[in-house]
């Protein structure tokens, strides 16, 4: 019964996220808010791709590093917002999380997915990449993926946030966030996030950023209310 309910909740969550804002308000409470920064963030350096001409020619202007990406209204992008305590573990969804190497960049730069969810890694470039995630709790592997080869399928069985890099192209640096439940978001331009479908209870919401670290807040949800939570990170000037 309990498991069934969790599975159902997971499916409902999936359906809700698929219809996004168009559908009816989902059952349960919601935590939403915005991630911003204060202070002056470091200026991102342009990437020198001259050693990889097949990628360099794809851009007319130099690409910037994505260690800190800011958007309109002091918003901070690429922040993983998730429930670190209070929510039960969810079963992995049947859809795969997709990580693409294109133009010698990682798309997305930060990829969040669930424990035991399929992770699909694909190479759309005309050059070989090696995918080298660097977990501490999970198994560390390192695989080559030449152009035109099939997607790599992997999964991780422990919750952990860790870097992934390509040794051949040292500017390629991303993050895998392996999470225990389905209530999470990665911020984009505007820094907004919504964690929906939360049964009444007390939750710890954590926001993680690759350069500015993490911070947490406690939230108590009753009924189908929407609570607003804001995270403000202190920008480092270097």
Partner 1 sequence: MPNIKKLCLNVAVALLLPSALLAQQADQQPKPSKHLESHIGNLTGHSEAGAQLYYRYCWGCHGARGNGDGENAPYVTPNPRNFTQATFKCRSTPTGTLPLDSDLFNTLYRGFNFTNMPSWKTLTAQNRADLVAFIKTFSARWVSEKPGEPIQIPPEPALTVESIKHGGELFQKLECWKCHGQEGRGDGPSAATLTDSNDQPIRPYNFTTDNRSKCGKTNADLYKIFMTGLDGTPMPSFADVVKPGDAWDLVHYLRTLQVNNKSPELTLWESTPEGKAIVEAKKVENTNTGSGVKP
Of 68, 29, 71, the residue nearest 202 (C-alpha): 29
169 near partner 1, judged by CB under 8 A? yes
Task: Please pick, from the candidates 17, 32, 116, 128, the single residue that binds partner 1 as defined by CB under 8 A.
Answer: 128
Could you tell me which residues are beta bridge partners of residue 70?
76
**Residue 130 or 224 having the CB closest to partner 1:** 130
The label of the residue with tokens 């997709």 reads 98
Three-state secondary structure call for residue 208: strand
What are the angstrom distances between the C-alpha of 9 and each of 3, 21, 88, 189, 196?
10, 18, 11, 28, 11
**Region binding partner 1 by CB under 8 A among candidate stretches 29-37, 58-66, 139-147, 205-213:** 139-147
Q: Which of residues 21-80 bind partner 1 (CB under 8 A)?
A: 51
How many whole angstroms separate alpha carbon 105 and alpha carbon 134?
17
**Residue 34 or 129 having the CB closest to partner 1:** 129
- Shortest distance (Å) from residue 167 CB to partner 1: 3
Site of interaction with partner 1 (CB under 8 A): 51, 127-128, 130-132, 134, 136, 139-146, 149-150, 152, 167-170
């Amino acid at each position: 019964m309990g498991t069934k309910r969790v599975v159902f909740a997971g499916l409902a969550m999936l359906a809700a996220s698929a219809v996004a804002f168009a559908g009816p308000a989902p059952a349960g409470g919601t935590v939403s808010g915005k991630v911003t920064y204060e202070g002056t963030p470091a200026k991102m350096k342009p990437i020198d791709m001259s050693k990889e001409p097949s990628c360099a020619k794809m851009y007319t202007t130099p690409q910037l590093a994505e260690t800190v990406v800011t958007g309109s209204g002091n918003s901070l992008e690429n922040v993983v917002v998730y429930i670190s305590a209070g929510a039960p573990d969810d079963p992995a969804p049947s859809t795969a999380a997709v990580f693409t190497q294109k133009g010698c960049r990682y798309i997305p730069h930060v990829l969040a997915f669930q424990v035991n969810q399929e992770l699909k890694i694909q190479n759309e470039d005309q050059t070989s990449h090696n995918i080298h995630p660097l977990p501490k709790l999970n198994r560390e592997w390192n695989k080559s993926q030449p152009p035109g080869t099939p997607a790599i399928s992997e999964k991780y069985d422990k919750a952990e946030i860790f870097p992934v890099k390509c040794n051949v192209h040292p500017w390629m640096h991303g993050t895998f966030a392996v999470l225990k439940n389905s209530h999470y978001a990665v911020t984009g331009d505007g820094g907004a996030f919504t964690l929906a479908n939360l049964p009444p209870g007390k939750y710890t919401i954590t926001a993680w950023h690759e350069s500015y670290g993490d911070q947490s807040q406690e939230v108590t949800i009753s009924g189908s209310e929407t609570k607003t939570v804001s995270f403000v990170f202190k920008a480092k000037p270097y």
